[in-house]
Amino acid sequence: MPNFSIDVSPADDLIDVPRRIIVRGAHPGEPVRISSATLRNGTQWRSTACYIADAHGNVDVSMNPAIDGDYYGIDPMGLLWSQKPVQAGRRDQFHADVMAPLETTLTVSALEQPGLPPCTPASTRLVQRLAGAGVTRREVRELGLVGTLFLPATPGPHPAVMILNGSGGGINEPRAALYASRGYAAFALAYFKAPGLSDYISNTPLEYFERGLDWLRAEVSPLHDFVAISGQSRGGELVLLLGATFPQKVSAVLAYVPSALVHSGQNAADPTIGREGPTWLLRGQPLPHQWQDNRTASWAPFDEGPAPHRHELAMLTALQDEEAVARARIPVEKIAAPVLLLSATDDGSWPSSLYCGMVRDKLAEVAHPWPVLWRNYANAGHSILFPFVPTTQTTYAHPVSGRISTGGGEAAANARADLDSWQQAQHFLRDALTRHSSPKETS
């Protein structure tokens, strides 16, 4: 009886490293099944796909298309991004301890075919790490700041990046750990829904983030005094706002599915203040926001629309009041740094493509003297992360309000956006650091 073998290379590496998965020992032309299983924070996630062995009895997942299963076509990492949780409703993609690796079991087995003796199944292990060897993690509870600092294994100084979450709150340790693994002093700063902080986004002072930037500089003495800020969703709105408010303290802005406008508290609001109440304070005063005195804004398309509900539809009603939009617009022309904009055409949370277009157009209008890069991902949704994580869970209950809605996007398109956005972010930061360290070239 012939025996399968399955190999993955590299077997153990950082999560953003693509792998090559090869099956050997099949009968030529035989259909075979490869399944994946990963334990993610206590929940099993699984996927499966079928392939046809080549004339040598091999299947190379980077060259042979999946003809059936949880994804189709040629994709070297399709078995990972197409995973779904066995327990419905679970969305945790990483362990609570980000220093612990994700371990995936890949198993190859035969499909019953008349006249062919069955092959013995075989398995192998694929390990993905957020934190590379020597990366250090340190909880920060200083000066009222709540976050986690990750430092690379190599001696400093390193360029720095401050990472801000969206309307789910908390501390974005996975992204910070991966940044540290790629050579950055990475500070994941929480601003609500974390120990010692408010449970809600309402009335968050911008001075808190200024203090975070100052602390990061003093703590790590960044290479060339380079401190970038990265945020997604409400964090994307926030990093544009911080770049415009504290331009001399921000060296680069990475805005994932951001808004061009200041928004109200929305789904992360304190219920006693309401979702139309203010989010951001500056010098104790609330910033004008999109819903404030807006003559066309309506929650009805979101609240009463068909399931899965799209928050984006309510945001579009508010954009019809041009005066309200003008009052709420983030003055991105005050940013004194390169800007990376990442958006999605099927963003169900808010119209990030429209918002990024507004930002790009304003920066072009004022002849922004730093690079502006915009990537707009076709058919992708709101949850753009980094590569080789599951992209299938797009409808969920908001972690603060509990309202069920969709972030939009097709799983395959979301996976493509995850991969390209991370590659773009790395190139963007390297270029920004080079320009930052050569002032004459940026003047």
Among 199, 143, 144, smallest CA distance to 169 is for 199
88-103 b/e (C-beta count within 10 Å ≥ 16 → b) = eebbebbbeebeebbe
Residue among 382, 405, 418, 421 flagged as catalytic:
382
From CA 349, how far away is CA 436, in angstroms rounded? 34
Tracing tokens 């009895």 back to the chain, one arrives at 57
User: Is residue 347 annotated as a catalytic residue, yes or no?
Assistant: yes
Find all residues with CB under 8 Å of 88, minimum gap 6, and list them. Answer: none
Name the active-site residue from 233, 259, 349, 353. Answer: 233
State whether residue 425 is helix, strand or coil. helix
Cα–Cα dist 131/312, whole Å = 34
Helix axes 234-245, 207-220, angle to 10 degrees: 80
Residues 15-43 as b or e (16 or more Cβ within 10 Å = b): bbeebebbbbbbbeebbbbbbbbbebeee
Comparing CA positions, the residue from 340, 412, 342 lying closest to residue 371 is 340
Active-site position among 347, 349, 368, 436: 347
**Calpha distance 8→346 (Å, rounded):** 33
CB 30 within 8 A of CB 36: no
382 assigned to active site: yes
The three-class DSSP label of residue 394 is: coil
Measured CA to CA, the distance from residue 418 to residue 412 in angstroms comes to 10
Short-list 28, 25, 71, 35, CA closest to 52: 28
Three-state secondary structure string covering 171-238: CCHHHHHHHHHCCCEEEEEECCCCCCCCCCCCCEECHHHHHHHHHHHHHHCCHHHCEEEEEECHHHHH
Closest alpha carbon to 74 in 66, 82, 85? 66
Q: List active site positions.
A: 233, 347, 382
